[in-house]
Amino acid sequence: MHGSTSASGAPAEGTADRGHRWGQLHRVAPLLLLVLGVVAVIGSRRLGLGELTAPGPGLWPFIVSLLLTGTAVALLVLDPAEDYEPWTRGTLRIIAGLVSLGVFILLFQAFGFVVSAFLMLVLWLRVFGGESWRWTLGLAAGGTAVMYLLFVELLGVPFPDGLVDAVIGG
């Protein structure tokens, strides 16, 4: 339901102005995704696309960023405002989650995988999930270990060296 109405069904006083002011707010997220997609297209091209038989490091990011850009354009052009939920306090939690992903990337580059993954899981489990400290610390330690074994040991994904690597000499 959008806006409030009086008993006669007409918009309540002041809601029409408020609705007009916030009417295009639903376009902010697709616009940000469009900017992110275009920046990612440019960045992935700089990595080198290679060829289909010998793909370069930028090929998959390029494909994903093209999909992101196309989706953002479709949302900007085709998606009506009625499809969106109103902004609430829950919206702030989503924004905080997205910001935490950005912080995770910065921590990942500075401290490596283990420390940043553990801190990210602690934040998400405790703050966003509302878990107790016992569960949070146990699940964060276990989750970090499982992800490390999966990505680093099993799949051989090269992560930047971090604090743990420096301590164990990796």
Note if the pTM is more than 0.85: no
What integer pLDDT is reported at residue 89 of this predicted model? 83
What integer pLDDT is reported at residue 72 of this predicted model? 95
What the block records as the tokens of 138 is: 């146990």
What integer pLDDT is reported at residue 90 of this predicted model? 83
Q: How far is CA 56 from CA 45, 60, 109, 136, 160, in A?
A: 10, 8, 22, 39, 20
Please report, to the nearest 10 degrees, the dihedral formed by the alpha carbons of residues 140, 142, 147, 153 taken in order: 140
Q: What is the DSSP string of 60-96?
A: HHHHHHHHHHHHHHHHHHH--GGGSPPP-HHHHHHHH
Beta bridge partners of 103: none
Rounded Cα–Cα distance for residues 66 and 52 (Å): 16
What integer pLDDT is reported at residue 3 of this predicted model? 43
In order along its 170 residues, the chain shows pLDDT tens digits of 444 444 444 444 445 455 555 567 778 889 999 999 999 999 999 989 988 888 888 899 999 999 999 999 999 888 887 777 777 888 888 889 999 999 998 998 888 888 999 999 999 999 999 999 999 999 999 999 999 999 888 988 888 777 776 776 65
Rounded Cα–Cα distance for residues 93 and 72 (Å): 22
Asked if residue 108 lies in contact with residue 161, where contact means CB atoms within 8 angstroms, the answer is: no
